[in-house]
Amino acid sequence: MAQIMASLNIESLASASFISGAVTIAKIVGTFIAAWIAVKLGVKYAFFLSSVLIVIGIFTPHAANYELLLISRFLMGLGGAFMIVYFNPIVMRWFAPHERPVINGLNAVAFNVGTAIILWFMPTINSATGSWQNSLILFSVASIIVAVVWLLVEFSPEEKTNTHDNAEPVSYSYFDGLKDKFNWAYGLTYSGLLAFYICLFTFYPKAGISQSKWVIGFGIIGTLAGIVYSKNISARLPVIRWSGLIITLTIAGLSFSESSMLQIISAMTLGFFIFFPITALVSIPHELPNMTGSRVTVIFSLFYSISYLVSTFILWWFGALVDSNDGNYFQAFILITVLSSSFFIGSFFLPETGKKSVNTRMEPCEE
């Protein structure tokens, strides 16, 4: 962020927030229309489209001005928005119910591994490639290769795929989703935590708090622990609720402590408990009654749209508070700490699905 701001002479943090916010805005738009595109193209080619859009990130290092930078970031973010939604119908179509918590957890830890590589090894990567611009180009080339490999995957027609849930297909439109109280509770629960997570990597280093790499490192451990936990413990809400409380407390420790050691301990604990409940959180829609691939696509479309919409506003508010206080982060840190409690509070409005979904009988997944 600091290098991008310097190269384009951006001084306002509120303006800088839209560099990351362009991706966030794309996720609002993209996740909302993802289900519609999946219907038009089919999940396989919709997922390929998302991969191609991510590759557009190759233009980000060469953006000549702020506007072109935002456009390239927006299109890249649009691809990411589609992809995170399409993971869910793909998981439903390829894996039996007792396998899905593990696969959902692996999807989450994959993201963390990529982020950890960047946080821990970016200086080394930049040294090897010659510049941060070349590094971003390298990542985009890798994305092109993976996108082509995806086209080789055999994907049976949707109507021939078993959902493994013995449920009759039910119609579930966007309008139905918007009327469903669950979707609003689900999205708002995640929104405060998501806003903090984006702030952590965008603005915390500029505030002199550089322990974010510990959050990601222990986040990988937390995700793996969450996979094991969710595979063996049926209840979903307790792990979400109490992790949410620990998250808010450790965000306060990271943000306001003057002790470097306490900040590191807070970051380690925070990283673990941010990702420990994620497997349980993303498993809830898969375990709702009468769930189908099309319905789960709409649910996750709205989940990410709502959470990213709220977090975009919070990001701008965070940057604006810093600007209005002449670079002082105190009020902004209070804001993000208080709003992160949405994860804890939201757990009281979500349904408990795990007790009904325990599956100890091994069922083969039909082709």
Domain residue ranges of the chain, discontinuous segments joined by +:
2-154+179-347
Residue 327 has pLDDT above 70, yes or no: yes
Specify the CATH class of 2-154+179-347 in words.
mainly alpha
Mean pLDDT of 47-58: 90
Q: What are 269-283's pLDDT values in tens digits?
A: 999 999 999 999 999
Residue 167 has pLDDT above 60, yes or no: no
**Which residues lie below 8 Å from residue 45, measured CB to CB, with a gap of 6+?**
none
Contact 108, 223 (CB under 8 A): yes
Q: Which pLDDT value is given to residue 332? A: 93
Q: Which pLDDT value is given to residue 161? A: 41
Taking the C-alpha atoms of residue 119 and residue 220, their distance in angstroms, rounded to an integer, is 13
Q: Which pLDDT value is given to residue 19? A: 62
In 236-367, the DSSP E strands lie at none
Mean pLDDT of 120-148: 89
Contact 278, 105 (CB under 8 A): yes
Specify the DSSP class assigned to residue 365.
Answer: P
Residue 310 has pLDDT above 50, yes or no: yes
Residue 330 has pLDDT above 80, yes or no: yes
Mean pLDDT over the full length of the chain = 83
Statement: the pTM of the whole predicted model exceeds 0.85: no
Residue 358 has pLDDT above 50, yes or no: no
Q: Which pLDDT value is given to residue 171? A: 76
Residue 363 has pLDDT above 50, yes or no: no
Q: Which pLDDT value is given to residue 3? A: 65
Q: Which pLDDT value is given to residue 162? A: 43
At 187, list the tokens. Answer: 């999205």
Q: What are 33-46's pLDDT values in tens digits?
A: 888 888 888 889 99
pLDDT band for position 121 (cuts 50, 70, 90): confident
At 80, list the tokens. Answer: 């990411």
**Which residues lie below 8 Å from residue 72, measured CB to CB, with a gap of 6+?**
56, 57, 59, 60, 63
Higher pLDDT, 227 or 359: 227
Q: How many Cβ atoms from other residues are within 10 Å of residue 176's Cβ?
A: 13
Residue 12 has pLDDT above 90, yes or no: no
At 208, list the tokens. Answer: 């002199």
Ranges 69-83, 148-162, 209-223, 311-325, most confident = 311-325
Q: What are 181-222's pLDDT values in tens digits?
A: 999 999 999 999 999 988 888 788 888 888 877 888 898 899
Q: Which pLDDT value is given to residue 21? A: 61
Q: Which pLDDT value is given to residue 14? A: 57
